Structure formats: structure tokens, C-alpha cells
Structure 1
Amino acid sequence: MSLSKNFKMMSLYNQRMNSQLMDICLTLSSDTLEEDTHSFFPNIINYWNHILFGDLILIGRLASNNIAKLSPLDLSDFPEPVSPQDIYHHNLRDIASLRAQVDKLIIHYCDNLTEGDCDRFITYTTTEGAAITKAVADVTQHIFNHQAHHRGQLTCVLSQAGVDYGCMDLPVIVSEGSR
């Protein structure tokens, strides 16, 4: 399977997983959403905000290099990421709306991503101020790794709260594969 096809499949998987977990989180009380998790982030709301930060900063880096027909104009309606501790919303319904929009943007990006794009390199400045050059494929892969990493932490928190979040298996969730 080519990288671009794999990324298309991963974009669908991420959208479905984010939707599935968000739907479950939306049923939780505000006390549960804001309760100290004693984990990497202080509460469930902060997990969702941080996942958004990762997506927005990485997509922004790709857009600023006009990768896969993505331009900075495509991000004009989104918050500008500044820090890994960014809080875009305190209300989970507002986060859910932004999450759905970002997932659509990631799918759009991956639908237009070519093998040639994957082989390109981009240079950007990290949040710590360092200039770094990376392959587009590496940056794109990190979008999915970052989400999966923090969703894994989130599902651990949900499990500890006795919440059943359902199946997360890739072949079951994205049965059509890489399209």
C-alpha cells in the first residue's frame, strides 16, 4: 500500500475514532469531564484541546508549504495554535464542533495527498523556536501518531471511570481499507 493511500485510510479511522470517543464523552457529566485525571493532562477537556493543538499546528505547517492543495487560507476559520497547553474551548460541545471540522480538513488533505507530496520536505519552526526540516510523510504520520497516543491515554482515563468506549480496531472501524 502506498503512503498516500495509507494516510487516506488513517484519516477515516481518526475521524471515526474521534467521533466515537467524542459521542461517549458528550454523555458524561461536566464533573466527570473536569475531574482531575491524575494523568498526563488534568482532565478530559484538556485531552481534547491538546489533540486539537497537535492537529492544528501540524496541518498549519503543511498548509504553509501548500502541500496537497492545502493553503493557509484553508485554516483561516480555525484557532491559531500557539502552545501545547492551548485551550480552545472549555465546553465539550464546542470542542466537538471544532473536532469535526478539523477531521474533515485532515480527510480533505489526505484525499489530495500524492506520493510526490509525501517525498517532499518542509521546513518549519517548532513551538520551542527551532527550525526543523522534515519529510511531508513524517509530518503526516505524526498527525496520526499524536492522535492515537493521546486517544490511548484518554481511553485509559475513560476505562478507569468505568466507561465503555467500544471497539477501536482499525480493520473493523475502516472496513473499506485505504479506498
Structure 2
Amino acid sequence: MALYNKRINDQLMTNCLALSNELLEKETHSFFPNIMSYWNHILFGDLILLRRLALNHIAGLTPQTLSALPTPKSPQDIYCRKLSDFAHLRSQVDELIIQYCTNLTDENCEQFISYTTTEGESITKVIADLTQHIFNHQAHHRGQLTCVLSQFGVNYGCMDLPIIVSEGSRANA
């Protein structure tokens, strides 16, 4: 999933980088007001979940690991206003997610951590569920983003998991 996540983000980012700033900021009349807001919110979700894991030193993540990245505060955070500035940050976070998943163990997945949500609610969750949510959150909002891109006439290509990530697949299986 981490490889798929990076590949799809790279694919969509390449398409979005080809768009004008006017189109990136155009009102979408959808869940988020514009394409840039989708990218910023997806990054917020990754950063806040990775920080929660890092505070508990899960799978090699520590607060120091994330020290060069922005600190998430709100689901409406804006990390970059220009997509060209944003692309590097997105790639860094995707590489960090791959590193995290590579280091994740079965024992990690069974651990619980507690944290406070952005709404102030105290929650305890198992690491496996938080890790799955990293990918579910991105897939959910990328689905919205691809709908917007389709309406803007952008052909973003194939996003099917079995076709995009062939690692682990067997021919004639």
C-alpha cells in the first residue's frame, strides 16, 4: 500500500503540475474549494497520523524523524500555496510512509496508542487501524480529487492497485 500510495501521488502530482495556477485555485464546488486544498488536506492527514505514531516511537518513527516537516494543527492547514513547492514535501512524506511500513512489525500493529484529536477528544487506537487509516484517508480524498480532475478534463491515467503495484503478484496465480 505504501508503494501504491507513492506511485498514485506521483501520478496525480505530475498531472496537477501541468495545470495552470488558475485551474489549481479554481472553485471546485466540492468537498474542498480547490485542487490545492485537496493536496494540503491529504498532507495534513498524513502528518498528524505520522506525528501520533512518532510520539510513541512506532516502527522507527520519532519526533526527530519528523522535525523537518510541518507540524499539523488543523484539517484546514495550508502547507504550500504553490504546487511546485508542495511536490517535494509530498514526496518526502511518501518516502517516510514507505520507511515506516518497511519497519512496521506484527508486534507494532498490535500496540495501542492514545492521543487527542484536533477536536479535543481523547482516543486510544491500535496501530494497525491507524496505519490502515493513513491509506484510507488518502484514497478517500484522492477519489474526490480525481472526480474534480475529470470534471476539469484531466486524464490522470490508471489507478488500479493490481496494475500499478505488481510487486508480490504471481503470473498465472
Distance in structure 2 (CA, Å) of the matches to 1:52 and 1:60: 12
Within a 5 Å distance, the mapping from 1:79-158 to structure 2 comes to 79-158=70-149
157, 166, 170: which one aligns with 1:175: 166
Q: Provide the residue aligned with 2:34 in structure 1.
A: 43
SS across alignment from 2:114: strand
Larger helix percent: 1
Distance in structure 2 (CA, Å) of the matches to 1:60 and 1:36: 31
Q: Provide the residue aligned with 1:4 in structure 2.
A: none
SS across alignment from 1:69: coil
Q: How much has 1:94 moved relative to structure 2? A: 1.0
Amino acid corresponding to residue 58 of structure 1 in structure 2: L
9, 12, 15: which one aligns with 1:18: 9
Distance in structure 2 (CA, Å) of the matches to 1:175 and 1:44: 29
Q: Provide the residue aligned with 2:60 in structure 1.
A: 69
SS across alignment from 2:14: helix
The alignment of Structure 1 onto Structure 2 pairs a total of residues equal to 169
46, 49, 54: which one aligns with 1:58: 49
Distance in structure 2 (CA, Å) of the matches to 1:177 and 1:129: 41
Amino acid corresponding to residue 61 of structure 2 in structure 1: L
Distance in structure 1 (CA, Å) of the matches to 2:168 and 2:27: 37
Distance in structure 1 (CA, Å) of the matches to 2:29 and 2:168: 36
SS across alignment from 1:39: coil
Q: TM-score, normalised by structure 1?
A: 0.93
CA contact (8 A) 1:171 1:177 kept: no
Distance in structure 2 (CA, Å) of the matches to 1:94 and 1:137: 32
Amino acid corresponding to residue 65 of structure 2 in structure 1: D
| Gap regions ≥5 residues in structure 1 | 1-9
CA contact (8 A) 1:33 1:44 kept: yes
Distance in structure 1 (CA, Å) of the matches to 2:144 and 2:168: 25
- Runs of at least 4 residues of structure 1 off by over 4 A? none
How far does the alpha carbon of each residue in 1:103-139 deviate from its partner, in whole angstroms, 9 at most, with x for none? 0000000000001100000001100111100000000
Task: Give the root-mean-square deviation of aligned CA atoms.
Answer: 0.8
Distance in structure 1 (CA, Å) of the matches to 2:83 and 2:140: 20
Larger relative contact order (Cα-Cα within 8 Å, sequence gap ≥ 6):
1
Distance in structure 1 (CA, Å) of the matches to 2:121 and 2:70: 22
The reply on whether 1:34 has 2:17 as its aligned counterpart is no
